[in-house]
């Protein structure tokens, strides 16, 4: 007998269902379990499609599923894709470069700090 496919946690499913319905709506456990199974099947289907796209785009044996692969998989679900497209885009974190990395300290100050650290390490070794 094959193991049962994993399903979404019932507490998370219940939270999603309760925020989508009116507060006074009664939701039987069977509905929550069915919703969790359907949600799991949707995620599995989406990931299979995204994995196929990532494999097709892969330049080497090891590959990653990237957001464009998931977006391509969402094309099978136009209503969901339309709602995803309206979500705000996350801003990329700026990398610290150049002078920002050294907080404006001059080369001489950085060299002096480095030499002080070397002297401190040498003193600890000599103990």
With 0-12 / 13-18 / 19 or more C-beta atoms within 10 angstroms meaning exposed / middle / buried, residue 103 is: exposed
Cβ-contact 50, 70 below 8 angstroms: yes
What rounded mean pLDDT belongs to the chain? 84
CA gap 118, 36 in Å, rounded = 58
Provide CB contacts within 8 A for 87, sequence distance 6+: none
**Structural domain total, the chain:** 1
* Residue 40 domain flag: yes
H/E element holding 45? helix 29-57
- pLDDT, one tens digit per residue, over 7-56 is 889 899 888 888 888 878 888 999 999 999 999 999 999 999 999 999 99
* Residue 57 domain flag: yes
pLDDT at 2: 58
* Residue 112 domain flag: no
* Residue 42 domain flag: yes
- How many CA atoms are closer than 13 Å to the CA of 24, on its beta-carbon side? 0
* Residue 115 domain flag: no
* Residue 66 domain flag: yes
The CATH number for 37's domain is 1.10.20.10
> pLDDT band at 125, cuts 50/70/90?
confident
Q: Is the pLDDT of residue 94 over 80?
A: no
* Residue 31 domain flag: yes
């Amino acid at each position: 007998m094959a193991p049962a496919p994993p399903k979404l946690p019932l507490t998370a499913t219940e939270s999603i269902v309760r925020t989508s319905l009116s507060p006074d709506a009664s939701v039987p456990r069977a509905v929550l379990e069915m919703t969790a199974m359907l949600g799991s099947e949707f995620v599995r289907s989406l990931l299979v499609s995204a994995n196929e796209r990532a494999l097709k785009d892969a330049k080497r044996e090891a590959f990653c599923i990237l957001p464009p692969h998931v977006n391509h998989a969402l094309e099978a679900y136009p209503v969901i894709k339309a709602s995803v497209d309206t979500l705000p885009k996350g801003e990329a974190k700026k990398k610290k470069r150049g002078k920002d990395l050294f907080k404006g300290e001059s080369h001489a100050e950085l060299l002096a700090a480095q030499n002080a650290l070397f002297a401190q390490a040498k003193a600890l070794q000599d103990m």
